[in-house]
Amino acid sequence: MKHSFLFLAAFALAAVFSPSVTAQTTRVLSPDGLTYLDVKLADGRLTYSAGYRTIVKAKKKGVAPDTIDVPMLLNSPLGVYTNVADFSKDLTLVEAVRHEGTIKHSYHLRQGKQSEINREENSFALVLTTPQRRNGGVLMTVQFSVFNNNIAYRYRFLQGGETGSIVVTGEASGFRLPIDATAFICPQSDPMIGWKRTKPSYEEGYIWDEPINTRSNYGHGWTFPCLFHEGDKGWLLISETGVSSNYCGSHLSDATPDGLFTIAFPMEGENNGFGSTGAQLGLGNCKTNCNDDVTGFTPWRTITFGSSLKPIVETTITWDVVEPLYEPTIDYKGSRNTWSWILWQDASINYDDQVKFIDLAATLGWEGCLIDGGWYEHISREGMEKLFDYCKQKGVRPWVWYNSNGGWNDAPQCARQCMHNSIVRKKEMKWLHDHGVAGIKVDFFAGDKQETMRLYEGLLSDANDYGIQVICHGCTLPRGWERMYPNYCSSEAVLASENLYFSQGFCEMEARHACLHPFVRNTTGSMEYGGTVLQKRLHREPDKGNTRRTSDVFELATAIAFQSCGQNFALTPRNLTEQPKFEIDFMKQVPTTWDETRFIDGYPGKYIVMARRHAEQWYLIAMNAENEAKTLTLEPGVLSGFSAEKAVLLTDGTDGQTPQQSRLILDKKGRLTVTLQPQCAAVIY
């Protein structure tokens, strides 16, 4: 079922305004009855709170068990600031609408943590107005969707008079947490700083388990998604989804002293100062709009919580509440790509070196090879066409790097001025399509303004017309895009593997970051990290460059831990002879799309145990980022997808330096015990 709520538009336009209500609270429960949402309208202001309920057994026989509320999100404000009215105060209730029965969602997700998704929600909406004369009869609907362990809400503005459009200048939407909670969050940077003025690009460092009122590095708040630990009560994740060309992207402000985060809009300087920091919205009116099911809506604000990290790692709320915006023109597939630039850098963007990496892809049986920035100058279009022909001979699909730039930063790499508007973009994409190119990687975007969101959507839509997949780099977080845009592949939006080459300090922190991303960055969107480095020295030459601190098996495990349907791995031709054969055999068959994901154990930045399934094949990883060895015992239920006779166990040996392949050796109770040395891992498949 779509979340259009068209019946609300029809109802609201004919509604008779009810008297103001001094205080009114409505509770909505999830389908399993264990997640609650309380919505309150008092003195003209709308607030909400949420949490989960635990079942307490009765002390006496024959007495039904009771439930206890565990609050995770405290009394938090709702509302939107617009050019026609302040919809955060002086609100009057027009009508409350509760959807009869549970809404069922069943859909297929080509690329994500799960392929066949079935979810249920209970839905509730409020239609509100303000007394201001200048609001032109505009009505605001707040729609709430309550899933098991997940809550989402958004606003819709309905045309009730002559006003057909509004400008949203900000939101009162907030998230109040207990002041003793801690945070795993990443700061929003200043605009137009960093290399060639390319920030913000969601590539800052996280704070780890720090107080929620810690001030962000730049004073602009925190990028989505944001993970919080509320001690014994559990964990909470906040993000947003459904951001398209109709709105801007947002982030969280710094917290107030009493623990309130609010939605923060883009900064004036983003996109080289061009474009509004707010959003323009056409108003919903089902009688006149040809696309009324997408008109007048803001993005969804999403909240995931529970007593453990399992609901956080396994959540699909990002995709549950959005819909595809167009149909795929072809049956897009996952792709494993070789990539010379990550270790051989700019000098490798030449014809001969690219042939080496096309050959490597063919040897590994991988689908693609990414040709990175600089090809326009150093290979030329004619040379690229020869490479495309060579790819075809080898059964490898090429991917090509582009600079998104039209004038929003100073990044010089070519090809430039090819993706910034539809006219030049379509011409370029026809050339790519005619030469069998599978996808493009587009870099150096410009922040979160609505102008930039229009660029993302136009680029993705145009690429789909030519059957081309899109990876975004130097960019914002994807917000439901795996489902909204069928040819979308992944986005960087993280401190990615290129920093291993640039900084030894980043190498020292690699394991810690790797054991953080499944709990934060990868929970809500595909991550274009570009990892699985098997060389010990990060350079083209064997005795130069930074030194990798993680073990080989740890690197293999990241291929499972980091979810993206298009993986640009960091293998080089040397790996074919320098690594044990079983490591290369693993990389030859590792998939990039998943049918199921299960969280088993872990703590952000310390260790992670998780499993993913592709078709009938399960993969289980255990990764240790701490400075001490960690012994884990995997119970029979965790190992149920594996045959002791057929499954393969990869470990780093007792010294953490000697990768080994063996069969599973279970104890009498069917359990497996593994000891992981620091920055080491185990993989079962």
CATH code, domain carrying 529? 3.20.20.70
**pLDDT the model gives residue 23:** 65
* Residues 208 and 267 both lie in one domain: yes
368-371 vs 335-339, strand pairing mode: parallel
Which of 573, 589, 605 is the C-terminal boundary of a domain?
589
Cα distance between residue 373 and residue 435, in whole Å: 18
Q: Give me the pLDDT at residue 292, please.
A: 57
Domain boundary among 546, 571, 589: 589
Of residues 499, 494, 580, 492, the one with CA closest to residue 545: 499
The pLDDT, as a whole number, for residue 157 is 95
Is residue 406 in a domain? Answer: yes
Q: Cα separation of 578 and 560, whole Å?
A: 22
Ranges of the chain with pLDDT below 50: 1, 4-22, 288-290
What's the CA gap between 397 and 390, in Å, rounded? 10
On whether residue 272 sits in a domain, the answer given is yes
At 133 the pLDDT is: 61
Residues of the domain holding 316? 6-320
The model's pTM: 0.95
Residue 375 lies in a domain: yes
Please indicate, yes or no, if residue 421 is contained in any of the structural domains.
yes
Asked if 303 and 441 sit in the same domain, the reply is no
CB 45 within 8 A of CB 88: yes
- 612 lies in a domain? no
- Name the token pair of 209: 């388990």
240 and 284 in a single domain? The answer is: yes
Instruction: Tell me the per-residue pLDDT of 598-642, one tens digit each, with 9 for 90 and over.
Output: 999 999 999 999 999 999 999 999 999 999 999 999 999 999 999
Strands 488-491 and 469-472: parallel
CA–CA distance, 211 with 217 (Å, rounded to integer): 14
Distance CA 351, CA 383 (A): 7
In the prediction, which pLDDT does 644 show?
Answer: 86
Task: Provide the number of structural domains found in the chain.
Answer: 3
CATH of the domain at 39: 2.70.98.10
Q: Would you say residue 330 lies in a domain? A: no
* pLDDT at res. 159: 85
Query: Is 607 part of any domain?
Result: no
Strand partners, 71: 51
In a domain, 245, yes or no: yes
The answer to whether residues 379 and 354 belong to one domain is: yes
- 124 with 165, same domain? yes
